[in-house]
Amino acid sequence: MGCSTDHGALAGRFIALEGGDGAGKSTHLKMLAQALRGAGYVDQPGCPRLVVTREPGGTELGNQIRELVLYGGEVAPAAEALLYAADRAQHVTTVLRPALARADLVLTDRYLDSSIAYQAEGRGLTEDVIRSINAVATGGLTPDLVIVLDIEPEAATTRRHGSGDPADRVEQAGEAFHSKVNRRYRELAAADPDRYVMVDATGPKEEVHERIWAAVRKLAAAGPRRPPDNSIPSATDKPSCSVSGGGIFAPAAGIESEAVTQEVPRAEGRGQ
């Protein structure tokens, strides 16, 4: 089976799933990956490769950071923000940019908006500072589509308790914290409706999946992403410092792309 012109339209696209803890991001990322493969959009001759990843933990270094911030001892809010940014810098440099340069389709469980919602709004840090830190981490790389799974904190808490999994440090932050996170996600989506899609994450997972699938097919209908801007250095470029999209990106020399798992580990993508 070859790749049709329409199915090649997702080559080089970058999609992020966002939302509060318990919204079902990891479940729906897996369902979306299965749907993309089943419909012939990816992993067929002539089609883009599918890269499924997560934050924190999409790299070896990221997994170590994940254990520290989610399952370690107490972490100061500023330290937490910097650790998440370090995870993202490694992720962008060694996974995301190389994949997009190959014209792969990238799906990630969390990205920059998690830091804005959790560290700025939830922890009360200055949003301009969070954005500045992450401008360095991302070099201005933004998703083509952000799907926000929207669920009330009370319902999300009930869902998490029903899973039987022990709560991580962030999940234990309390309902007031998660309410602020949820509100900020809604504000981010409302401010940029062309790039964000709010999806009601309540109800049967098959219905939620159909809403997500409709958003992805709409992105595919828009056509392929434009070729990467060569002024933005990749992970294998010589050391340099360039400004793009308001951010600074200074990669280390000789960094190779890390292996990316095709499936998201753990049942729920507990990030921030």
Q: Is 100:227 a contact under the CB 8 Å cutoff?
A: no
DSSP secondary structure of the chain: ----TTGGGGTT-EEEEEE-TTS-HHHHHHHHHHHHHHTTSSSSTTSPPEEEEETTTSSHHHHHHHHHHHHSS---HHHHHHHHHHHHHHHIIIIIHHHHHTT-EEEEE--HHHIIIIIIIIT---HHHHHHHHHHHHTT---SEEEEEE--HHHHHHHHHHH-PPP-TTGGG-HHHHHHHHHHHHHHHHH-TTTEEEEE--S-HHHHHHHHHHHHHHHHHT-PPPPP-TTS--TTSPS--EEETTEEE-PPTTPPPPP--SS-SSSS----
CATH 3.40.50.300 describes domain 7-222+229-249: yes
d(CA 266, CA 78): 27
| Sequence spans of domains, the chain | 7-222+229-249
Q: What pLDDT is recorded for position 234?
A: 39
Q: Is 111:53 a contact under the CB 8 Å cutoff?
A: no
Tens of pLDDT, residue by residue, the chain (272 residues): 567 656 678 999 999 999 998 889 989 999 999 999 999 999 999 899 999 999 999 999 999 999 999 988 889 999 999 999 999 999 999 999 999 999 999 999 999 999 999 999 999 999 999 999 999 999 999 999 999 999 988 887 777 665 666 666 777 777 889 999 999 999 999 999 999 999 999 989 999 999 999 999 999 998 777 554 433 333 334 333 332 333 333 333 333 445 444 444 443 444 45
Q: What pLDDT is recorded for position 272?
A: 54
Q: What pLDDT is recorded for position 153?
A: 81
Can you tell me whether residue 192 is helix, strand or coil? coil
Q: What pLDDT is recorded for position 241?
A: 30
Phi, psi of 54 (to 5 degrees): -155, 165
Rounded (10°) CA dihedral 219, 182, 135, 26: -60
Q: What is the pTM of this model?
A: 0.82
Q: What pLDDT is recorded for position 80?
A: 96
Of 19, 18, 17, nearest to 33 by C-alpha is 17
Q: Is 29:51 a contact under the CB 8 Å cutoff?
A: no
Kindly list the distances between the CA atom of residue 32 and the CA atoms of 6, 142, 150, in Å, as whole numbers in the listed order: 18, 20, 17
